[in-house]
A = this chain, B = another copy of it.
């Protein structure tokens, strides 16, 4: 497959780079004079002919410049994947921002989304880390109004969920506290499976709450509102989305979230922490993304808590900028998650 001569290779990479910047079909002349090459336009034309033959380039019409095909982008990306580094200065800035933010997951998520969007000029998506084999830590039951009770469930790792329950009859705060305290000693440190296999409690309130806690554990995977996003308006800047219908379809993905979820779920499974995945043109699977690319990474601690994050942009996006940014931010988040988890373990 990699049967390109050195010259073809540099030519291909240069052309794509140029197209990414200019958003316009690149011709032999432009290429020759923009980057002073030591061979002539005619030679370039020949080579471009070959590259077109091989499926890396395409001409919108006879006698226009060349434009990369999806295949071309793939080559480009695989070529730069391991080379691209984020400038030291930018790295420091980003790291700094994270470390001086308040140490809350929500802060980290919005910050990550914001940084990804502004650095890449694309739309960012950050999915909060999902704790695998979540362990119970603590529950609080607070009577709020009549039969309604606020349940705050704290997981090991700092994950917190709250939920309002409506009981069949009013219960005093005192009884609630007793139930909470009993459950706290009973369940401390247990996983879903362990909790599920416990014998039924005699106290009916205890049992009810236990069931609810269990449900909450299981719901963990389908939490849809934990997706953070930023930079939506960036797509409107790109010329390929100036036709508003195209833009609408793309933005809709982020409003509905179901496609997005599907997408992230599928890619999540193939990819490891530290490894990036680049989807180009929807990879034939997602009609809505035919014009787009996504750079996706997982972050977190495998087996403990992992999440996904990424950037969506036009197929013509600046991979040279986006790839290292996504990688770096994923790294920082991984560290933060890791710290959070190991702290937890140290102290308990």
Contact = CB atoms under 8 A, between A and B. Distances in A.
Interface of A: 102-104, 137-138, 140, 142, 144-146, 148, 150, 152, 154, 157-158, 160, 162-164, 166, 170, 230-233, 236-237, 241-242, 244-245, 247-248, 251-252, 255, 340, 343-344, 346-347
Given A233-B252, A244-B241, A142 B154 contact: yes
Contact of A248 (B140, B237, B346): B237
A284 to B, nearest CB: 25
Identical copies of this chain, number: 2
Contacts of A162: 152, 160, 162
A160 B232 CA distance: 30
A289 to B, nearest CB: 16
A144 to B, nearest CB: 5
A23 to B, nearest CB: 14
Contacts of A230: 255
Contacts of A236: 244-245, 247-248, 251
Nearest to A140: B140
Contacts of A150: 154, 158, 160
Best-surrounded residue of A104, A230, A241 (most CB of chain B within 10 A): A104
Given A145-B157, A231-B255, A236-B244, 5 more contacts: A104-B164, A144-B160, A148-B343, A236-B245, A236-B251
Contact of A152 (B102, B140, B170): B140
A252 B142 CA distance: 39
Given A160-B162, A232-B232, A144 B344 contact: yes
Which 4 A-B pairs rank lowest in CB-CB distance, beginning with the nearest? A145-B344, A236-B248, A146-B347, A145-B343
Contacts of A241: 244
B340 A145 contact: yes
